[in-house]
Chain A
Amino acid sequence: MERESVSDMSEEPGTGPAPPDNRELQIRNAKAFLLQADKSGLSLYEHLSALLSRILSERPPNALESLAELSSELQWARMNRGLDALRTPKEDLQVYGKAEIQRTLFTNTSGEGEESEDVEMLESPLPNLLDLAHLIQQAGLNLGRDEAVRISLAMKRLVDAHPLQRCRFWGKILGTQGNYLVAEVQFREGEDDEAEEGGGPEEEEEEKADEEEDIPEEAEDLPPKSTYRPPPEIKREEYGTGANKYVYFVCTEAGAEWVRLPPVTPAQIIAARKIKRLFTGNPDAPVVTYPPFLGTEANLLRAQIARISAGTHVSPLSFYQFSEEEGEEEEEGGAKDTCEENPEFEGIPVTELADSLSNWVHHVQHILPQGRCVWVNTSTKSEEQEEEEEVEEEEKEEDDEPVPEVGPPLLTPLSEDAEIGLTPPWTVSLSSHLIPQYALAVLRSNLWPGAYTIASAKKFETIYIGWGVKYSPEGYSPPAPPPPQAEYPSGPEISEALDATIEEEQALKAAQEEAVAAAEEMEGEEEEEEEEDD
Chain B
Amino acid sequence: MEAENLQLSLDAVSGSGHGLSPEQSAALRTSLLLLRRDMQLARVWLWGKILGVRGDYYIAQGVAGGEQLRARKAFYSLNCMDWCLLPPATNDLIAQAHVVTGRFIGDPSHEYEHVTQKKVDEGDAAYSEEVTTNIKEESRLVATIAMIDKEAAVVPRGAFVKNPVGEVQINHCFRGLAVNEAKKFSSYFHFTPTLNPTNKSLLEQADLNPALDFLNSLEHDVPKGSWSLQFEQGGSVLILRSLLWLGMTFYHLPLTPQHGYIYIGNGERNIDLPFMI
User: Could you say which residues of chain B place their CB within 8 Å of the CB of A465?
Assistant: 16-18
Which residues of A from 267 to 288 have beta carbons under 8 Å from B?
275-278
Segment with Cβ contacts to B, from A294-302, A342-350, A426-434, A484-492:
A426-434
Q: Are B228 and A176 in contact (CB under 8 A)?
A: yes
Q: Are B17 and A176 in contact (CB under 8 A)?
A: no
Which residues of B from 13 to 67 have beta carbons under 8 Å from A?
13-24, 51, 53-54
Interchain CA distance A38-B57 in the complex, whole Å:
72
Q: A102-B234, A142-B14, A421-B102 are in contact. Are A277 and B275 (CB under 8 A)?
A: yes
Q: Are B23 and A98 in contact (CB under 8 A)?
A: no
User: A175 at interface (Cβ–Cβ under 8 A)?
Assistant: yes
Q: Are B276 and A469 in contact (CB under 8 A)?
A: yes
User: Could you say which residues of chain A place their CB within 8 Å of the CB of B230?
Assistant: 177-179
Which residues of A from 426 to 452 have beta carbons under 8 Å from B?
427, 431-435, 444, 446, 449-450
Q: Are B234 and A99 in contact (CB under 8 A)?
A: yes
Segment with Cβ contacts to B, from A1-9, A16-24, A143-151, A202-210:
A143-151
Interchain CA distance A141-B56 in the complex, whole Å:
14
How far apart are A1's CB and chain B's nearest CB, in angstroms? 37
Q: When each residue 209-223 of chain A gets 1 if its CB lies under 8 Å from chain B and 0 otherwise, what string results?
A: 000000000000000
Interchain CA distance A146-B11 in the complex, whole Å:
9
Q: Please count the residue pairs between chain A and chain B whose beta carbons lie under 8 angstroms apart in the complex.
A: 121
Q: A174-B241, A424-B53, A476-B272 are in contact. Are A92 and B179 (CB under 8 A)?
A: yes
Q: Are B246 and A467 in contact (CB under 8 A)?
A: yes
Give the interface size class of chain A: 35 or more
Q: Are A147 and B235 in contact (CB under 8 A)?
A: no
Q: When each residue 99-112 of chain A gets 1 if its CB lies under 8 Å from chain B and 0 otherwise, what string results?
A: 10010000000000
Q: Are A446 and B17 in contact (CB under 8 A)?
A: no
User: A478 at interface (Cβ–Cβ under 8 A)?
Assistant: yes
User: Could you say which residues of chain B place their CB within 8 Å of the CB of A421?
Assistant: 102
Which residues of A from 106 to 153 have beta carbons under 8 Å from B?
137-147
Interchain CA distance A444-B17 in the complex, whole Å:
14
User: Could you say which residues of chain B place their CB within 8 Å of the CB of A363?
Assistant: none
User: B133 at interface (Cβ–Cβ under 8 A)?
Assistant: no
Q: Are A95 and B14 in contact (CB under 8 A)?
A: no
Q: When each residue 90-113 of chain B gets 1 if its CB lies under 8 Å from chain A and 0 otherwise, what string results?
A: 000000000001110000000000
Q: A91-B180, A446-B53 are in contact. Are A172 and B17 (CB under 8 A)?
A: yes
Interchain CA distance A475-B268 in the complex, whole Å:
11
Q: Are B101 and A473 in contact (CB under 8 A)?
A: yes
Partner of A140, one of B20, B180, B243, B275: B20
User: Could you say which residues of chain B place their CB within 8 Å of the CB of A143?
Assistant: 14, 17
Q: When each residue 229-245 of chain B gets 1 if its CB lies under 8 Å from chain A and 0 otherwise, what string results?
A: 01111111000010100
Q: Are A432 and B277 in contact (CB under 8 A)?
A: no
Partner of A277, one of B53, B180, B276: B276
Partner of B272, one of A139, A175, A276, A431: A276
Partner of A422, one of B20, B21, B22, B102: B102
Q: Are B17 and A138 in contact (CB under 8 A)?
A: no
Q: Are B233 and A466 in contact (CB under 8 A)?
A: no
How far apart are B207's CB and chain A's nearest CB, in angstroms? 20
User: A72 at interface (Cβ–Cβ under 8 A)?
Assistant: no
User: B192 at interface (Cβ–Cβ under 8 A)?
Assistant: no
Binding site for A on B (CB under 8 A): 10-11, 13-24, 51, 53-54, 79, 101-103, 178-180, 225, 228, 230-236, 241, 243, 246, 265-266, 271-272, 275-277
- Known contacts A141-B17, A478-B275; 5 additional CB pairs below 8 A are A138-B21, A276-B272, A422-B102, A449-B265, A465-B18
Binding site for B on A (CB under 8 A): 91-92, 94-95, 97-99, 102, 137-147, 172, 174-179, 275-278, 289, 421-424, 427, 431-435, 444, 446, 449-450, 465-467, 469, 471-476, 478
29 contacts between A and B (CB under 8 A): A92-B179, A94-B231, A95-B235, A98-B235, A99-B235, A137-B21, A137-B22, A140-B18, A142-B18, A142-B19, A143-B17, A144-B14, A145-B11, A147-B14, A174-B15, A175-B228, A176-B225, A179-B230, A179-B232, A276-B272, A277-B275, A277-B277, A423-B53, A423-B102, A446-B103, A449-B51, A449-B265, A465-B16, A465-B17
